[in-house]
Structure 1
Amino acid sequence: MFSAITRAEAALKAVCAHEFTRLHPDEVNPYLNPDYYDSRRRPSAVALIDKVFKRILELDGNPRNRGDYGGKAYIRHCMEDHNGQVPLWVLANHLSFGQTVWFFQVQSPAVRLAVAESFTGLYADTHDGPRRITIKRLDSIFNRLVFYRNLCAHDERCYCARYDGRANENVYQAIGDLGYLLDKDDYLELFGRFSALVARATSAMPSRRQAILSAMGVRERELADRAEIILRS
């Protein structure tokens, strides 16, 4: 699951960088301008700029900064050899998944729509049937995936974790989310591995079978049905 989420993270970084830069092609570091974000989310955008972007670029006035840019040679190269011009696609390499989602969620409606349309197009590229991926769906998907990505990264239990404490915000939902973001072959592989893991766990602990499935949000028959749906998509 972790590797699949990192692929989704990479896709979000690439699409956000492309769509934001496409609207501001001739400006130096336009992501530092709060006027280019959703005016309704301006305080959050300013916080992102000040606490994340300016810290990475060492423009925050912190005396602890030593000009090494967190040991990131690619940032130092841009700052020192290109007059401080750091393209967003370069900066994005230094962002966490959560910070990337934050960036997406404070974008102008035009950028957010363009990102959603890009993911819709990426889905269509590897599936037989189209699927419209909306801004609202992307917000929900990425909030969940950040939660499960952090659990995976810290070796915490995922199978019974519920995002935001809600019964329907479970690991099975997160597996389903990845179906919107990965190409068809990658998702088939992920879903096959997930199904095999569920089968091994429930076979090893038959007395806990229903409790395990319930904790994951899985209805047993759905696993086989969903695999067929993926193949036909």
Structure 2
Amino acid sequence: MRKNVLIFFALLASICFLQINAKKFSTNYKSNVQDTIIVKHKNSIEKSYEVGFYSKSYSYYWIVGKDTLDFAISAHEYERDKSMSINIFHKNPINLKTAIKNTENCLTLIKQDFNIEKLNYLYFTNTFIYYPDIVTKLSNEYNAKYGKKRIEYKDLNKFLLSSIFNTKMNEFLKLQNKKVIGYGIEKFNLIDKQSMKYQLPNMDLKDYPEYSISGMGISVKLDKK
């Protein structure tokens, strides 16, 4: 339980970093990816509440022209053991394939300041309904095993380790000599399509499943391959 609480607060801190800095970044490094510029920004560490927590933190923003795109990544190194996490943030739905590709394109910048071998966690600040290319398949997998029953966290972890989401994660991570060993979803629940409409008011949900796994983000625990 204590471990899950720490993961949850790390996720909240990461979201705050990205939201606070979204309009305050500096152009101290740029990387062009097919007419898109990735801008790296070094985050200030507020020692008043982060002492012993982060030792360094950077955010990465996608820009086209003068427009900041709805996608950002933050990377953090932890003071206690020099391990690191990567956090993926966007407000609107995008394909998981796109989120993974963006993250892959950003790794060159991340590796300038972090030891990627120390990467222990990926955090997705949204849950599966924000990834239309996999949400229906994932829900069908869940329905085939559990129907509309809300399962225990240990069973959820076991399910996700055998899911299409895990397959996509490991395809990406194998290039970094990493693999997924566990999942966490804070406040895990199942939501129906009516509830999805409140979260995604501008999204056409006709191809969405009748219900989906939901919660407060997705934490992905990693280990060496």
- TM-score > 0.5 by shorter chain: no
Structure ranking higher on relative contact order (CA contacts 8 Å, 6+ apart) = 1
Higher helix share: 1
TM-score, scaled relative to structure 1: 0.25
Higher strand share: 2
